[in-house]
Amino acid sequence: MIIDLKYHIASLVAVFLALGIGILIGNNFSAVGNEIMVQQQKQLIDKLERDFDQIRDENKKVQHQISEFKNAINVHKQFEKQIVPQLVYGKLQGYNIAIIETNNYGFHEDWMNTLKTAGANITSITTVLGGFDLSDSKIREKIATKLLLTSKEEDDLTRAIAQEINVAVMTGQNLENLQFLEGLGFLKKVGNYGTPVNAVIVVGGSQDEKTVKVKNLDIPIMKYFLDHNIPVYGVEHTDVEISYMKEYQKLKVATIDNVDMVPGQVALIRAISGYPGDYGVKTTAKELLPALH
The enclosing domain of 139 has a CATH number of 3.40.50
**Does residue 293 belong to any structural domain of this protein?**
no
Q: What is the chain's Cα-based Rg?
A: 35
Task: Please say which residue of 88, 104, 121 terminates a domain.
Answer: 88
pLDDT (mean) for 174-180: 95
Segment 74-115, tens digit of pLDDT? 766 675 677 888 889 999 999 999 999 998 776 677 888 999
Reference 247, options 78, 103, 108; nearest CA is 103
Burial class (CB in 10 A: 0-12, 13-18, 19+), 6: exposed
| pLDDT value for 3 | 47
**Does residue 201 belong to any structural domain of this protein?**
yes
Domain range for residue 78? 1-88
**Does residue 289 belong to any structural domain of this protein?**
no
Answer yes or no: do 181 and 79 share one domain: no
Segment 251-269, tens digit of pLDDT? 999 999 999 999 999 999 9
Segment 24-37, tens digit of pLDDT? 555 555 555 567 77
| pLDDT value for 158 | 95
Q: What percent of the chain has pLDDT over 70?
A: 82
Indicate the number of domains in the chain.
2
